[in-house]
Structure 1
């Protein structure tokens, strides 16, 4: 007779088998010797010898620091270095204060779970990241979704939850650049709409950080809207090539999150090495605009090649480094990705249910370090693949 433990393991194995049979089993795999058109390392900072040397030098100059944080920041994990880095982040992102979290996931979950309270209303774009969705699920506020980037649908919902008879605060949560489509939120119109109805706007800048803005500060700063957005989330594991994240906004917001954001309160803080890496990455970002300009040049070149050599293919409406070729059907998307991989390129298929059925795709990320000949060969490999619309 099987033990209770064995019964539980058998149940897990059955669930995995069902996922495998459906062709949806996730696996961890490396991309050895493939040219990177997959990662979020848009500026190449994760592989930058200059950034690595700067971090090593910073470690050397502060030898008395602990190797670990030793506790949460509300206990033993608080340091003068953490305060110093947060003050520098607030200056760089043109706001009053910043609070560092261990990851963008932690920041989104913590913020969305604690800002909207019982009696409040949270309106979220239907395509927000899973971390924002998970945070929203933990909130006691009422939550409604609006159609992606649909201002008319959002206004209708704002009208229904505000007014003389309404109570509580209304929050609107969006991404500035959406991770699976690469398109941008209409931030200027969103800010105007939120102002009109007294709603507070929350913007996840994960895929805009380092890529847009005068010094890589994101789309909110690029549009001069930083004083009209309640909170922005900047993550450092994508274009900045390190780790961690920060929520930036007012000093009141920072104090509130210190008191109510559970991932901040109950997580061991980032170690000093990570704080130094964040500081070094931002210094490099603000003083070297070259990689950012090269990224946008490579993006323009990619779009020109696609337009000329892949006519009739369906792409998402993206002006960001995230370029998505729609290949309906999980099997078809995998097949086209395999063609590109066999040609030497790290390109991944995004399958349903991660994206809606019929919207399966190849998610191609352009980087500053990708060369024009590499882009030419990638586009040629896609051209040589059997037309996914006819497969």
Structure 2
């Protein structure tokens, strides 16, 4: 390596060393031998033999003879299959149209960066996904954060934005329906009312609600009957649906706008036919699993009942979703309890500061339809012992 390259490599190594010394070094690891209390595979679709067989059959029946998209959707990557799947998604999510992106990250980056323009105001809940934050940073709009799920704080900021709004300037409010780090729900009906009161557009990331809420898994917006009062929804397929990709759904004009202005859509190679077929199959499989969401809710109730009995003094975030978070202040304490769970055979991960605020370090426990009551009871017993060691 050249002297200049050596200098840069040394600087990178020093930064990694500093992160390691602070106990925050990230590393890739596998946990195939552990009981899954970590993944976003809430419905078990990623491990479903029936869904896998459905996708394999769809691949065999596909007559395009293409393994790759060969280009962006605006060049060689557009197919009739993509059009068909997007119309099926629009019908499923009860809206006019849909546009598929390569991932939820790509969808949020594209939406947030291109929709609010210079002079517009973008109000974001302080706990939105990192992908929404990154997209907002790429926008030229005036961005403000409001306190998490705080309707009064949002109302004050909406009023302030309205008072300074010039002709043609727009106001956008961006939230998640289920928050990934706390597992709690956004007050969507109240948010929709506020947005209408102040003539603002509501953007909802449904990543952790897709497949889990709604009569057929359409998400919380449809569950509340708000689909005509939300400008854009982001549905990702790599969590509860067990495949890959994402879609932004909403009015046809939004789809056309994104095709023209969303850089993460315009300048990337399209998903291959296999991915579009998998997205279609996952939604068909979801509609064939009439009781799967009910079974998941039963698992959540059992977990919470056991926690109340075995860990009455523990502190949990307010969540009725599959994401259950045990607050364990201090990185070392949270890391210790997570390690004890892993040694006992359970894949549980600690979420440390600065990813969450200091004092809000936690275990993020994800529940699934395939977690048995015995596994849940054993996990809670391990947590009980580990917490006793931390508190003494």
TM-score of the aligned structures, taking structure 2 as reference length = 0.98
Cα distance in 1 for residues equivalent to 2:164 and 2:357: 38
**Offset at 1:2?**
6.7
Counterpart for residue 158 of structure 1: 158
Pair 1:165–1:29, CA change in 2 (3 A): closer
User: Secondary structure of 1:227's match?
Assistant: coil
Counterpart for residue 25 of structure 1: 25
Correspondence 1:201 to 2:194 = no
The C-alpha deviation readout for 1:246-283, integer Å capped at 9, x for no partner, is 00000000000000000000000000000000000000
The C-alpha deviation readout for 1:265-303, integer Å capped at 9, x for no partner, is 000000000000000000011121222211111011100
Counterpart for residue 125 of structure 2: 125
Cα distance in 1 for residues equivalent to 2:389 and 2:91: 48
Counterparts in 2 of 1:233-382, with a 5 A limit? Answer: 233-382=234-383
Cα distance in 2 for residues equivalent to 1:191 and 1:39: 31
Cα distance in 2 for residues equivalent to 1:210 and 1:46: 13
Report if the CA contact (8 A) 1:327-1:388 is conserved: no
Range moving further from structure 2, 61-70 or 192-201: 61-70
The C-alpha deviation readout for 1:131-168, integer Å capped at 9, x for no partner, is 00000000000000000000000000000010485440
Cα distance in 2 for residues equivalent to 1:373 and 1:389: 25
Alignment: residue pair count: 391
Cα distance in 2 for residues equivalent to 1:165 and 1:212: 36
Which contiguous aligned blocks of 4+ residues in structure 1 show a shift greater than 2 angstroms? 163-167, 386-391
User: Secondary structure of 1:23's match?
Assistant: coil
Cα distance in 1 for residues equivalent to 2:310 and 2:255: 49
Counterpart for residue 386 of structure 1: 387
**Offset at 1:63?**
3.7
Counterparts in 2 of 1:87-166, with a 5 A limit? Answer: 87-163=87-163, 166=166
Counterpart for residue 49 of structure 1: 49
User: Secondary structure of 2:238's match?
Assistant: coil
Cα distance in 1 for residues equivalent to 2:164 and 2:380: 56
User: Secondary structure of 2:336's match?
Assistant: helix
Report if the CA contact (8 A) 1:209-1:235 is conserved: yes
User: Secondary structure of 1:385's match?
Assistant: helix
**Offset at 1:390?**
2.2
Counterpart for residue 14 of structure 1: 14
Pair 1:383–1:59, CA change in 2 (3 A): same
Counterpart for residue 226 of structure 1: 227
RMSD: 1.2
Range moving further from structure 2, 280-289 or 262-271: 280-289
Pair 1:388–1:359, CA change in 2 (3 A): farther
Counterpart for residue 215 of structure 2: 214
Counterpart for residue 185 of structure 2: 184
Report if the CA contact (8 A) 1:43-1:295 is conserved: yes
Report if the CA contact (8 A) 1:333-1:360 is conserved: yes
User: Secondary structure of 1:228's match?
Assistant: coil
Cα distance in 2 for residues equivalent to 1:338 and 1:243: 30
Cα distance in 1 for residues equivalent to 2:179 and 2:164: 34
Pair 1:144–1:8, CA change in 2 (3 A): same
Range moving further from structure 2, 164-173 or 79-88: 164-173
